Structure 1
Amino acid sequence: MVSAVRGRVAALAALAAAVTGVLAWRYAGEAAAGRTDSRITEVLDDQPDLAHGVARELATLGGPLPVAVALLLLAPLAAYLRGVRGLALVLAGPPTAMVTTSLVLKPLVGRTNGGELAFPSGHTTSVASIAVTCAVLVLGLAAVPRALKLLAVAGLAALVLGVGVSLVVRGMHYPTDTLGAVGVALAVVPAVAMVIDAFADVVGDPGPDPRALDPREHPTEVLPRARPT
C-alpha cells in the first residue's frame, strides 16, 4: 500500500516537473504573451466586473506577509496532527518550492512581463505550495471522511486558481506563468514529503506524534497505511 502510494506521488511529481520544464523551454527569454496566454486572457477579460473585482484581491494572498502568517499558523497544526514529519514538511516543502521559483527558474528561464522576471509566478508558487502541503496532510488523515478530504482539496485548488486568475487579470503574469508555478508546487512538495519519509524510515523514526488522530498513520504520506486484517 505504502509503496503504491509513493509510486503514484512520484509519478505526479515527475509529470508536474515535465510540464513546467516544457513551458520553461517554450517561453525562455520571451517577453510577449504566447497564443495560449492570449486566448485565456481574452476569456478572463469577458467576465463580469464583479468577478474581476474579487479576483483582483486574491493576488495579495501570495505576498510575503500572508505567506509567512500562513506558514506560522500551519506549522504547529501540522505538528499536532501529523507529528515531526508533518512539521518538517511545512518547514521544508513550501520554502523549497519558493526558492526553486525565485532563485533558480526565474533567472534561468528569463521570461519577462513588464520588465520583471515572470516565469514561474512567485505569488502562485507560494500559495500553491502551501495548498499542496495542506492537501498532503489532510489526505493522510484516516479519521476524516473521504468526502471531506476531497472537498478540502477542491477548496484548496479553487483558491490557487483564484490567485492565478487574479495575477493574470491584474496584468502581473501570463497564464502560463501561473501554470508553471503550480507545476513547481506539485513537483517539489511531494518530492520533499517522500524525502522526509525516507529519511525518517532510515533513522528509525517511530512515526507520528501520539496525539495524532490515528497513530498508525505516517504524517507525510498522502494516503493512510493499510489496516491490519
Structure 2
Amino acid sequence: MTGRSAPAVLPPSLRAWLGLIAALATLMVVVLGVLYAGHSRPGMVDAWIQPAVEGVRPPWRHVALAMDFLGEPAGAATLVGAAVTGCLLLRRPRAAVLLVAGVGMTVGAATLLKSVVGRTIHDGHLSYPSGHTAFLTALALVVALVATGRLGLGRRAGTLLVLAVALVAGATMGWAQVALGAHYPTDVLGGWCTALAVIPATAWLVDRTADRLADRMADAGRREHR
C-alpha cells in the first residue's frame, strides 16, 4: 500500500510534543556547542561524571567495546540493514526511508558540528557531539516511532515510549563512549540531542513528501480514467 493509506512514520498524536522536544534539543545542541567551542578540556559537568565512568575494566570494557563497534561503519551498516529489512517485512516503506534518511542526516549533522565546534579530546580528536551516540539514538527513535504506530499508542504513552527508548539507547552508547575515553559526557548529551532534533523533523518531511507524491499519483490516475 502506498500514498495516504500508508502508515505515517510520525504519528499525528505525537507531532506537537516531538516538535517541542526537537526544538528544545536543538537549543541544547547550540548552547553546548557555543559553551565548549574550541575547548580541549573537560567542563565542570564532565569533571564530575567522567572519573566515575572512564577506565572500566573487563568484563565491562568488553561490553563497552561491543557497543562502540555498533557505531562504527560495519556495525552501523549491519544495524541499519537489519532494521530496514524489518520495516519492509512489516510493510512500512516510509519507516525504511526514514531509517536511511534520518540516521544519515543525524550522523551527517553530528559530523558537521564537530568541525564547526572544534572541541577536541586526546591528541586533537574532534569530540562534540558524539556521533556514535547520535547514531544509536536516531536508530532507536525510528524503531520507537514504528512501534508507537503499530501499537496505536496515544499522545502520552507514545511520547513516553519514544523518549524512554531514546534515553536507553543514548545512555548505553554514551556510557560506552565515556568509559572508553572517546568522548566527554557533554559530547554524549550533544549527540543524544542531535538525534532528538533531527529525527522528528525528518519524519515529518518523509510523511509530507510521501503524501504529496500520493496526491499527484491519484490526480494522474483520475485524469487517465476521464
The TM-score with structure 1 as length reference comes to 0.78
Offset of residue 152 of structure 1: 8.8
Distance 1:147 1:15 in 2: 20
Offset of residue 16 of structure 1: 0.9
Q: Does 1:112 align with 2:120?
A: yes
Percent of matched pairs sharing the same residue: 33
Checking the alignment, whether the CA contact within 8 Å between 1:59 and 1:164 is kept in structure 2 is no
Aligned partner letter, 2:86: L
Aligned partner letter, 1:171: G
- Residue 216 of structure 1 corresponds to none
Distance 1:68 1:205 in 2: 33
- Residue 131 of structure 1 corresponds to 140
Q: Secondary structure of 1:193's partner? A: helix
Determine which of 8, 11, 20 is the counterpart of 2:29. Answer: 20
Distance 1:135 1:84 in 2: 15
The structure where helix makes up a greater share of residues is 2
Q: Which runs of 4+ in 1 moved over 3 A?
A: 45-57, 146-157
Query: What RMSD, in angstroms, separates the aligned Cα atoms of the two structures?
Result: 3.0
Offset of residue 8 of structure 1: 1.4
Q: Deviations over 1:60-104 (max 9, x none)?
A: 2211111000111111211232522111111101011001111x2
- Provide structure 2 residue ranges, at least 5 long, that are not aligned to the other structure: 1-10, 217-226
Aligned length: 204
Distance 1:170 1:64 in 2: 18
Aligned partner letter, 1:179: L
- Provide structure 1 residue ranges, at least 5 long, that are not aligned to the other structure: 207-229
Distance 2:14 2:160 in 1: 17
Q: Deviations over 1:87-124 (max 9, x none)?
A: 1111101011001111x201000000111110011111
Q: Secondary structure of 1:140's partner? A: helix
Distance 2:145 2:161 in 1: 14
Offset of residue 49 of structure 1: 6.5
